[in-house]
Structure 1
């Protein structure tokens, strides 16, 4: 009989069966839920990996930045030490230049030989210090390159920066050690140089006394230069230049002394030498030059004698006495001595400025005559014959000029 379709209401619709297994609708809905769980886990894993990557990147940046900051600090400190070394080396070279000038200027006239040897040794040691240190000044300090991007690059660069920081710190230690060497060398050179100079200035007085016949201006140059160098504590180009002047003054003294000796040569040499010593003995400490001629002031023939004095006030003052050859020819007669005393009376005015009226020739000659009389020279060649006797009160005043 014909079968009618299954009713569409009031019952359950059964799905087709396969192999006796019924596939229910409820069972078919579980698969999507399992897929969502897998996706969540995948996302969570990705997030974890991303966070880890971000952390690694952040850590790499921090490590790099710290390394770069430490590197920069080390380089700055090293650069400062290098600049200070450069300054110390410049000071050492300036010191050795001055000391070398001083050593080269020495003629063996004034400087103590032992002090000269110490100076030479100090200069040798300083040259060694300069040679061993100069290469350090050419060292190029490292610089940081542009910051990389990726973590592996940052970690690598950080490691290199740390290595270069250590190298810079080591170089700084070398700079500091070199500075100590340079400073010690400069101090040694300075001490040796100043000691050598002071040995020369100390010898200047004895040198002058041994060469009193040198011309006044050469003697004064030696005195003034020695006084300028007395107590010197630090070498520089000014000091070395002044020392060259000291040596030049000593050389000039020797030269002018020889010229003076040559000028006195001849039959009257001994008398002239004795007269000059006699005049200096009358006025100790007064610088006197002497010039000899056949005629002075028109006198010099026969028994006539001529003399002329020129003096310069100052600190110290000095004078030149001109004498005719006849003064030496009649030496050591009383007339010669009296005339010489008169001229010394003029010369000693540099020591007694203000004790008499030096505004006119008459008072000037009266003073010189009075001074000669005050010293016990009574022969009329003391000026009395030419200018007349001076007032007694002037003789008393002149006696106080020593």
Structure 2
């Protein structure tokens, strides 16, 4: 029999209901949303998010090492860059600094010489006295000294001291960068300073040269006036003339008080005064004793330009005019090294000048002595014929001059050999 509440099946047996889901009968399940009548917009529904992967945790040492590596790489990079840029800039700085140092040293040395020139100029102004010094020359020197002093007071401005690290020595990057910033300003500053010092050096040198020129003008002017005095006083003694020449030569020494010759302008003025006085005295003496003037003129006429003075006395060389004709000759140095002589004669020679040829022979003998001041005669005098014997030489020379008389020295020293007499004539 068929149970009306049981669905009808075809064939076979009906499986017993199991625990699984009931098969779909093509109808929507109870409670499902209604199906839309029209088209449905497609919406992509995201999938549910996956659980995030748990991060891998580094150990503390590994993290520190990584950070340190980054820092070191950064530091090394900065160090390399800073060092390279610093090294590239260094030649420009070194050249500018070296040029400045050289210019500053040149200026300092020039300034020191200028200070010395000023000191010498001041000393010269202080000692340049007397009528031989022209007032305009003194005033010119004083003006040049004042100008040079003002130039030195206007010293160039220094750029100061700069401490820049040597590229050959290690320095941290921040110091290299600091040096670079400094060098950017210091290089042109050093170049400008070098130019300032070079220009200042030239100005200082010009000031020193002006002092030197003014000094030369003063000294040369003084020398010229002294030489003019020599020309204006021809009758002055050789001794007084040599004194003036020596005083003129002293003018060229360094004009410093410490040198011990600070009075040389005064000494020159005094020597010129003595020269003028000597000229006046000689003119008067020769006018008073005309025969002495004649005898002296004769002596000079045979002296081959050897300069000498003549002195007269009653006693010469230990022999008096009573019964003797006596003479002596002395030698002195002069500024040129040529030397000059002093011949002394007894009054008896003057008294017997015209009556006894021996009196003249004595004069010739004494003139022969001073001939050894001539180089041509000195060579013979020092040679084997005379071996430096003054009396044999003077006697031979007098005989060779034609005065073969006792007064020529034969009586006092004996007669030289014919060879000696002949040798003495070789320098006439």
Is the pair's TM-score, using the shorter chain for normalization, greater than 0.5?
yes
Aligned twin of 1:88 = 110
Change (3 A) 1:144 1:398: closer
Aligned twin of 1:294 = 314
Q: Following the alignment from structure 1 to structure 2, what is the Cα–Cα distance between the partners of residues 114 and 372?
A: 58
TM-score normalised to structure 2 length: 0.54
1:65 corresponds to which of 80, 83, 86: 86
Aligned twin of 1:271 = 289
CA contact (8 A) 1:308 1:321 kept: yes
Q: Following the alignment from structure 1 to structure 2, what is the Cα–Cα distance between the partners of residues 400 and 245?
A: 46
Deviation at 1:129, TM superposition (A): 2.3
2:150 corresponds to which of 128, 142, 156: 128
Q: Following the alignment from structure 2 to structure 1, what is the Cα–Cα distance between the partners of residues 278 and 402?
A: 26
CA contact (8 A) 2:313 2:345 kept: yes
1:283 is the counterpart of 2:303? yes
1:219 corresponds to which of 232, 238, 242: 242
Over residues 103-157 of structure 1, what are the superposed CA-to-partner deviations in whole Å (9 max), with x where a residue is unaligned? 5554557777776665554433322322223x65x77433349999897x98787
CA contact (8 A) 2:236 2:280 kept: no
Which structure has the larger Rg? 2
1:308 is the counterpart of 2:327? yes
Q: How does 1:334-373 map to 2 (within 5 A)?
A: 338=360, 340-341=363-364, 343-351=366-374, 352-353=377-378, 354=380, 359=389, 361=391, 364-365=394-395, 367-368=397-398, 371=401, 373=403
Q: Following the alignment from structure 2 to structure 1, what is the Cα–Cα distance between the partners of residues 274 and 356?
A: 30
Deviation at 1:84, TM superposition (A): 1.9
Change (3 A) 1:150 1:366: closer
Aligned twin of 1:141 = 161
Aligned twin of 2:343 = 321
Over residues 343-377 of structure 1, what are the superposed CA-to-partner deviations in whole Å (9 max), with x where a residue is unaligned? 33443453344388573746634633664759xxx
CA contact (8 A) 1:342 1:371 kept: no
Aligned twin of 2:8 = none
Change (3 A) 1:205 1:262: closer
Over residues 15-63 of structure 1, what are the superposed CA-to-partner deviations in whole Å (9 max), with x where a residue is unaligned? xxxxxxxxx9942328x49x9xxxxxxxxxxxxxx9xx98996899479
Which secondary structure does the structure 1 equivalent of 2:320 belong to?
Answer: coil
Q: Following the alignment from structure 1 to structure 2, what is the Cα–Cα distance between the partners of residues 170 and 388?
A: 85
Q: How does 1:105-184 map to 2 (within 5 A)?
A: 106-107=128-129, 119-133=141-155, 136=157, 140-144=160-164, 159=181, 161-184=183-206
Deviation at 1:178, TM superposition (A): 0.8
Aligned twin of 1:46 = none
Over residues 79-111 of structure 1, what are the superposed CA-to-partner deviations in whole Å (9 max), with x where a residue is unaligned? 222112112222333444455555555455777
Q: How does 1:201-240 map to 2 (within 5 A)?
A: 206-209=228-231, 210=233, 213-214=236-237, 216=239, 219=242, 222=245, 226=249
Change (3 A) 1:381 1:349: same
Q: CA RMSD in A?
A: 6.1
Which secondary structure does the structure 1 equivalent of 2:338 belong to?
Answer: coil
Change (3 A) 1:220 1:54: same
Aligned residues: 349
Over residues 157-204 of structure 1, what are the superposed CA-to-partner deviations in whole Å (9 max), with x where a residue is unaligned? 755553344433332222111111123233444444456555666666
CA contact (8 A) 1:295 1:306 kept: no
Q: Following the alignment from structure 1 to structure 2, what is the Cα–Cα distance between the partners of residues 113 and 277?
A: 41
CA contact (8 A) 1:105 1:247 kept: yes
